[in-house]
Structures are given as C-alpha cells and as structure tokens.
Amino acid sequence: MDGVIRLAGEQLAYLEEQFGALVPRHILSNGWDYYTNRRVLTLEVIDGNSIYGAVNGSSVYAVVLDSDEFSYSKCTCSYAGYCKHMAAVFYHYCALAGEDPEQMYRHLISEGTIAEKRVKREMASQQPSEQDGPDVWREWFGKMYGDLWKQCKQSVHPLQSVLSELKAAAKHWEKPLQRLHWLHAIEFLLEQVERAYEATDSYSRYYYEMSFNRTVDPWISNFYELAQGLPQAPHGEAYRDWLSKLVEVLRELALADKPLLLRWDLLYHMIAEQLASEPGWREAEHAVLERELAARLPVDSSVQVAQTRSRPITFLQSALANLDMLDSLDASAVERMQWTDFERTSELAYRFARRRLEQRSWEAFALWMDFLYERLERSRNTAVLRPYLVLCREADQQQARPGTGEWTRRLVGFLPASYHELASHWLQCGCYEEWADLQLYLGIRPDELDAADVRSVARSAPSSLIPLYHQAIDEAIMTRNRQGYRQAVKLMKRLEKLYSEDGRTEKWVRYVSGIADKYQRLRAFQEELWKGKVLT
C-alpha cells in the first residue's frame, strides 16, 4: 500500500462491522461487481481515519468512508443511503491493505452476527498448509463450514460456492495430493447435505430428496472422475495418509444404520480400490470389516434372514467380497454377496463379473453370472436386466462360434424382455436365420422392423426373410378389408424381390398362383392383386 496511510486494525474492524450490520446484501453484491470491474479510480486515507475514493458509475462519484463515525460516510450519487460505490471503495481499500477482498465480501454477505463473521475471518486466516495432514484440514473444514447445513432449509444452494473456495485452497498443490484434498472437500460437503436431509420433516422428505439429489449429482460425478484419476502406484506417505483417511470416513458413513440420502457405500468402494494393490492395507482393512461384521451379526442363528441384510451388514459383506475378489477368492466373494440386499449391491456384482470377463477368467465369470441369474430369473423388467444381457452378449462374442453358445441361450431364456439385445446380437454375429425366426416367434411383421436391419438381412440372406413375409401376408389378408388387402399386395411385391435375389423365381410363381387360388372368393383381394400387377 505504497503512499497510502493504513487504517488501524480496530478501524478496519469497525468499518467491517458497520458494512455488515447496516448495508443490505444486494448493495454489497452490486459494490463487489463495481470493484471487480475496476470502477474504483482513486483511493487514499486522510488524517488516518477517513478513506476517500472516486468511483466511475453513470458519472464519477466521490466517496468518503469515516472509520470513526460511519454515519458521516457519504457518496455524491443520488442514492439515499449507503450505496454500492461506498462498498466498492471499501473492497478496494481491503485489497490495497493486504486483506483478501473476496473473502471480506463473502463474509459480509454470509449469515450470522458480526462477531461470528469476525471469528470466521480469523479462522480463514489460519488455513492449514500443504504440509498439514488430512486430520488438520478436516478440523478446519468443520470450523469454517460445519454449520452450513443449517442454512439448507429448502435447497443446498448455500453449499455450492463453498466447494470452489475449498478447491481453491489447494490449487497450487502437487496434482496427486490436490486430487485427494478435493475428494475430501466434496465428501465434507456431501456430509453437510446428508445432515440437512436428516433434519427435514418426514412429510417433505421426498421433495427434498429430489431437490438435493439434483444439486449433488454433479459433485458425485466429479468425485468419481477425481477418484479414477488417482495414480495406481503408491505416491508417498502423505498421499497414503490422505487416502486412508478418506476410506476411514466413508466406511463410517456407510455403516450408519439410518435413512440416508446418498450411497456412501459406492463412494467407499471407489476409493478403497485405490489402496487395493497394497496387500498390507487389504489385510488391515479386512480385519476392521470382520470385527464390524461380527459385532452386528445376530447371535441367534434362527433369526430371520432379512435381519442379516440390514444396510450396515450389506455394506460389510460387499466390502469383504471386494477384498476376496482382489485375492481371487471368487467363491468366497459370491458366498458373501448371497447375504446382501441385491438392490444395493447389484452394481458391485456386475463390476465383479465384468472384471472377470475382461480377464477371460471363464470359470470365475460363470460363478458371477450364475449368482446374477438366480436373482434375475423371475424378472422381466428390461431396465433391470439390461446389464446382465449386455454381459451375456459380450461373453458370447468371445466364444468360438458367437451366437450359438451358452450365453446366447441365456439371452433366449429372458424373452421377451431380452428381445432387443438378442435381435441385435444375432444381427451382429451374422445369425440371420435365427434373427428371422425370432421375429416369426414373436409375431413381428417386416414393416415393424428397422428398415436398415431388414435391408442388411435381405442383402446377406434373403431366403431367411421369406417365411417372415409369408406370415405377414397371411395376416394382412385375414383382416378381410380393403386396407389389409393393399398391405398384403405391398408385402408381396417385396417378397417377389426376395425370391428373385435368392434365385427362386419359379417358386414365386407357384406361390402367387397358390395365393390366388386359395383366396379366389375374396373379390376385393383379387382386384388388388390385379391393380398391383401381382397377377398378369
């Protein structure tokens, strides 16, 4: 602040208190816009107690801020009261005095008493450094923002700007540690959301659930992106401390036996996999999970199975199954997954199956597919079945004769829900006869099929389509109306091309003759045959 006299510390605190208590938030925000747009032209401190400034608005306005008696402060603009030009000059002074103007602005517009805001500012000035560990940082998170959930009465909007602030604290760190700091920051804010959700009344909970989830979905996506970008190899003791702490926090949240908004178990699995390559960590984590499980399993063996599938036990069994998978103990992992709530662990089971498929570990893959089949065999919901059907298709593609093996038979077993996957699979494998038979079996007409698919089959195996057209023509004739007859003739014209492409023109002639004789009493149909030049 060269050439400018500083105010005393208590004078700056006085101005802060007055702006926070007397100036409306929208004025403070408008003043911030003026400051960030560099509207403050000049500034100086006179007599050690007054700030003089000039601000470029619709005209150039002179501002005086009195640090002894704030009511004497004034601006030459026409606004009746404390104005945005005065706020802009105050922010500009803070910047010249070495204070953080953005931090000052955020504290002024935040809720709370002036004393509370001043405490926040002091805590902000005590921000930990890169050398401090996760425990120190998490304690600071709590002191700075641990009560923010109380402001989330109808939405979690008050939390949105905080994530940027927390990320900014580590913007110059080394990338691996920076990612972990950001992961902790996101997790901390998600905890705030969870606390806000817990405080909602039961009548409004559904509304809040929808509202909160829409807001936090991008944060969770960001969490997954950051987790997937973590280095696989060990990256030093500090890195491991941050990672281990995050696993510990997520484990504790996943074990909560109460209604939760978020899937903490999935976040745990995502982060735990980053430590999975270390046998020592796996062994220690396995021991922790086993102790937690033993403490929760019912002593009475006659207890209902449903009671052993509570949220905490489902999480513990699935987490132990994940560790078993890493040690190639698939049978043990499958056994553990038997004791979980499938709706909560299906995503993990699919991940296990895909991992074995990518490794071409067929015996282990079959174990997981059998486990999934047992839980899905009664389902005919396409959305629920689709991940399983996709795995069947991918497995069959890697067989010696795709389209004909065990995994295709499993697709067939889920008809009609598996129709689209099975039809696409047979087309992809070049099994055109099977594809056409599927349409016949389900009674699907050629005009109901994708035109590109029909053309593709017609080019490669025209004979496979002929029975499909025969069936559709008979159905059209049996409508016994003029429109149906016209549709039949249209289909017969396409059928003629198929016979021609298949080199069986004489059979086409016999077919037309037979159709004409069979339905000779349907005069309208005979007329349509002549009009369409099917009969000549």
User: pTM higher than 0.85, yes or no?
Assistant: no
Q: Does a structural domain hold residue 434?
A: no
How many domains does the structure of the chain reveal? 5
72 secondary structure, DSSP code: G
Q: What is the model's pLDDT at position 206?
A: 74
How far lies 108's CA from each of 22, 23, 121, in Å? 11, 9, 10
Residue 154's pLDDT band, with cuts at 50, 70 and 90, is low
Query: 497 CB contacts (<8 Å, ≥6 apart)?
Result: 458
Q: What is the model's pLDDT at position 126?
A: 73
Residue carrying structure tokens 């705030």: 192
One domain for residues 257 and 198: yes
Residue 260's pLDDT band, with cuts at 50, 70 and 90, is confident
What letters, b where the CB count within 10 A reaches 16 and e where it falls short, cover 92-113? bbbbbbebebbebbbbbebeee
Average pLDDT over residues 30-38: 94
Q: Does a structural domain hold residue 440?
A: no
Structural domain of residue 48, as residue ranges?
9-117
Q: What is the model's pLDDT at position 118?
A: 57
One domain for residues 453 and 315: no
pLDDT of 117 > 70? The answer is no
Q: Does a structural domain hold residue 246?
A: yes
pLDDT of 250 > 90? The answer is yes
Summarised one tens digit per residue, pLDDT across range 313-370 is 999 999 999 999 988 999 999 999 998 989 889 999 999 999 999 999 999 999 999 9
Q: In what order do the strands lie in the sheet with 60-66?
A: 40-46, 50-56, 60-66, 74-75
Residue 65's pLDDT band, with cuts at 50, 70 and 90, is very high
Residue carrying structure tokens 């009465």: 153
416 preceded by cis ω (within 30°)?
yes
Q: Does a structural domain hold residue 437?
A: no
Last residue in a domain, options 205, 240, 274: 274
Q: What is the model's pLDDT at position 225?
A: 92
Q: Does a structural domain hold residue 97?
A: yes
Q: What is the model's pLDDT at position 282?
A: 87
Summarised one tens digit per residue, pLDDT across range 313-329 is 999 999 999 999 988 99
Of the two residues 287 and 308, the one the predictor is more confident about is: 287
Q: What is the model's pLDDT at position 109?
A: 79
One domain for residues 291 and 414: no
How far lies 264's CA from each of 4, 82, 424, 503, in Å? 53, 47, 36, 64
- Residue 45, beta-bridge partner list: 51
pLDDT of 307 > 60? The answer is no
pLDDT of 121 > 70? The answer is no
The overall longest dimension of the chain from CA atoms, in Å, is 116
Could you tell me whether strands 50-56 and 40-46 are parallel, antiparallel, or unpaired per DSSP bridges? antiparallel
What letters, b where the CB count within 10 A reaches 16 and e where it falls short, cover 479-517? eeeeebbbbbbebbebbbebbeebebeeebeebbeebbe
Supply the mean pLDDT for the chain. Answer: 87
Q: Does a structural domain hold residue 414?
A: yes
What is the CB-side half-sphere exposure of residue 258 using CA atoms within 13 A?
A: 8
pLDDT of 55 > 90? The answer is yes
One domain for residues 269 and 134: yes
One domain for residues 110 and 17: yes
Average pLDDT over residues 68-83: 92
Strand ranges (E), 19-126? 40-46, 50-56, 60-66, 74-75
One domain for residues 369 and 461: no
